[in-house]
């Protein structure tokens, strides 16, 4: 993944994560510590989900003897772009009709429970989330996924990948409606996390969301996970930490 951000060194990343885990230790007389995690592009890599959908599209196109079926079938997860149109362009496919068809095919599947099983955990993310939980923090999975179409699948995916969920001190917070812009949703709902406890750390792969968390929680360690993000994102606030994943070794 191409990056324009200066990431922490592995040593600094390890030290940051150790500090966050230390901050997760609950103390008598103080609000419970809370760690907030986004899902897509933060704890999880959703490119395998898109790849599975593209493989299905390629099969459908093969049945029609479509000229571009093999180009789509040749896509690799590591080369997928954030936007599907950019992915098609990288595959040499700049055909408006095919792009429109592919977009519709992808959208109905990508934003649904059934395909979340293809997501994989980012390196180190499961161990880090478990460490925060074991230290005493409540975990809030605060996602731009919507509950009607993706809520049940998200819960199952979080559980199956090994993240703490479905136990005391864990919550999954989804949008009530898919039409709500992600950043607007997080800015509106973020302050309500105070009902859970004191946010000591927040992780997201969107610069705009990270900036919002910094505004809402100036004492928290806000961490930008530099995987993929929406093109045209705003500059990161200077105190946001930047990491590629959750590795410590």
pLDDT tens figures, 5-64? 999 999 999 999 999 999 999 776 788 999 999 999 999 999 999 999 999 999 999 999
Residues making up the chain, counted from first to last:
249
pLDDT for the residue 150: 98
pLDDT for the residue 28: 66
pLDDT for the residue 23: 96
pLDDT for the residue 31: 86
* Residue 97 main-chain phi, psi, to 5 deg: -65, -40
Report the chain's mean pLDDT, rounded to a whole number. Answer: 95
Distance CA 20, CA 199 (A): 11
- Average pLDDT, stretch 119-140? 98
What percent of the chain has a predicted confidence (pLDDT) above 90?
94
pLDDT for the residue 226: 97
Put the strands of the sheet holding 138-146 in their side by side order. Answer: 170-175, 138-146, 33-37, 198-204, 221-225, 241-243
- Average pLDDT, stretch 127-150? 98
pLDDT for the residue 1: 41
pLDDT for the residue 109: 98
Distance CA 123, CA 244 (A): 9
- Average pLDDT, stretch 164-171? 98
Q: Is the pLDDT of residue 105 over 70?
A: yes
100: CB partners within 8 A, 6+ apart: none
pLDDT for the residue 30: 80
Please give the structure tokens belonging to residue 144. Answer: 């731009």
Distance CA 188, CA 244 (A): 27
Specify the DSSP element, H or E, that contains 171. strand 170-175
pLDDT for the residue 2: 45
Distance CA 201, CA 60 (A): 44
Residue found under tokens 């933060």: 42
Closest CA to 209 of 182, 249, 231, 248: 182
- Average pLDDT, stretch 192-218? 97
Inter-residue contact 154 to 175 (CB < 8 Å): no
The residues pairing with 224 across neighbouring beta strands, listed in sequence order, are: 204, 242
The CATH fold assigned to 10-45+121-243 is Rossmann fold (3.40.50)
């Amino acid at each position: 993944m191409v990056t324009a951000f200066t990431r922490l060194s592995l040593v600094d990343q390890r030290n940051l994560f150790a500090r966050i885990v230390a901050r997760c230790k609950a103390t008598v007389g103080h609000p419970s510590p809370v760690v907030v995690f986004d899902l897509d592009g933060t704890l999880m890599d959703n490119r395998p989900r898109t790849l599975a959908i593209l493989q299905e599209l390629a099969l459908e196109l093969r049945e029609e003897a479509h000229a571009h079926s093999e180009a789509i079938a040749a896509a690799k997860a590591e080369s997928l772009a954030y936007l599907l149109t950019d992915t098609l362009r990288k595959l040499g496919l700049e055909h408006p009709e095919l792009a429109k068809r592919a977009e519709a095919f992808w959208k109905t599947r990508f934003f649904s429970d059934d395909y979340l099983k293809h997501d994989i955990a980012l390196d180190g993310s499961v161990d880090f989330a478990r460490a925060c939980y074991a230290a005493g923090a409540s975990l809030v999975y605060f996602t731009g996924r919507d509950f009607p179409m993706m809520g049940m699948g998200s819960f199952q995916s979080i559980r199956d990948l090994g993240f703490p969920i479905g136990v005391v001190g864990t919550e999954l917070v989804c949008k009530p409606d898919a039409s709500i812009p992600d950043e607007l949703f997080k800015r509106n709902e973020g302050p309500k996390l105070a009902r859970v406890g004191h946010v000591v750390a927040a992780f997201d792969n969107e610069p705009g969301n990270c900036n919002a968390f910094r505004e809402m929680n100036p004492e928290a360690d806000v961490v930008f996970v530099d995987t993929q993000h929406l093109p045209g994102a705003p500059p990161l606030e200077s105190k946001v930490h930047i990491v590629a994943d959750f590795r410590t070794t």
